[in-house]
Amino acid sequence: MALTRIGVVGAGAMGRGIAQVAAQAGCAVTLTDVAPAALEGARGAIGVRLTRAVEKGRLAEADAEAALSRLTTGTDLAAHAGADLVIEAAVERLDVKAAIFCDLAQVAKGAVLASNTSSLSIGAIGAVAGVPVAGLHFFNPAPVMKLVEVILPEAAEPLAPPLEETLRAWGKTPVRAPDTPGFIVNRCARPFYGEALALLEDGTAPAAVDAAMVAAGYRMGPFALIDLVGAEVNLAASETVAQAMGGHPRYHVFDALKRQVAEGRLGRKTGAGFVTPDPGAAGPAPGAVERIEAALVNEAATLLGEGGTTEDGIDTAMKLGLNFPRGPFEIVRAAGPAAIRARLEALESASPAHLKGRYAPAPALLDMERA
């Protein structure tokens, strides 16, 4: 049974986006934030987005007005009393999130509690808060992106049916993800950027790497995507995953990315980045696609071997979350696991000292070859 009385905590970009999704789907939504100005800004931003949808013919004016009428705001978590589902989208700090859930457990009794965290352990949040917490990781912008990663520690496993039914009713595609650093997309995306940076370290021009990936069907190359999101955002995600994974060379944080941030060359927001402004035409870098895709496959196979997800789940998440033309396991099925293994072994043999061990084939990939 879908959940229809929705609470959202945090009126930032993600919180307001989730609130809009639920309101457009016909739910009564209460959005709370400790800052009244943030709530005022969120309501205004949601109104603007709904108006633009009407102007573009994507939404009827009456439906836009109805969606906005279903949204109420407040600064007190007690406003979530009677909610079926409360989604926390506050600052990425474990102590802050845990405190919110402790309070919600008292004021929203009986509600399903979920966090939109992108970097913290869902199990850790629930353990500190002392209540079952699910993970619902939406992607930005939430009204547009179809993917929602669903993370369910053992204590929250019974919440799967109502959460997944609710997400489908909202027009989203739920994918079960393990409670591991980066979940599926942010973890499996590391090689997309990391191997591009390794190619740069080897002397390949960023524009040539991007040209190769675009020619292979990717909507954007890795350097253009870093410039779009911001080098500092990519660096923070890379460092978080690297630390959580014990500094394994698969998650090496490259000096070139650190320099971009140190120099303020963050991408589009600063007018300077790896391929910003337009570096001009470049021919595709030979071998770039094969190298990056082999690393993508290996990371996906590593995650698969840890449990908590499936080949189809990983492929779906990567295609919806990053607009990839194909998922890692579609790549390995097309090329053959033996070919991917051979590419990885060649990369490992030629790797510099600081990357030794980066390309060791995942056991799950070797199992695919033996099957």
As annotated, the active-site residues are 118, 137, 149, 186
| 50 vs 20: CA distance, rounded Å | 9
| 157 vs 181: CA distance, rounded Å | 19
| 150 vs 177: CA distance, rounded Å | 6
Q: Which residues pair with 29 in a beta bridge?
A: 6, 71
| 8 vs 21: CA distance, rounded Å | 11
- 345: enclosing H helix or E strand: helix 337-350
- 37: enclosing H helix or E strand: helix 36-55
- 304: enclosing H helix or E strand: helix 288-306
| 183 vs 176: CA distance, rounded Å | 9
CB 65 within 8 A of CB 23: no
| 311 vs 313: CA distance, rounded Å | 5
Classify residue 272 as exposed, middle or buried by CB count within 10 Å of its CB (0-12, 13-18, 19+): middle
Q: Which residue has the tokens 């989203």?
A: 172
Region of 349 (left: φ > 0; alpha: ψ -120 to 50; beta: rest) is alpha
Q: Tell how strand 28-32 and strand 71-74 pair up.
A: parallel
- Helices then strands, counting H and E runs in the chain, come out as 17, 8
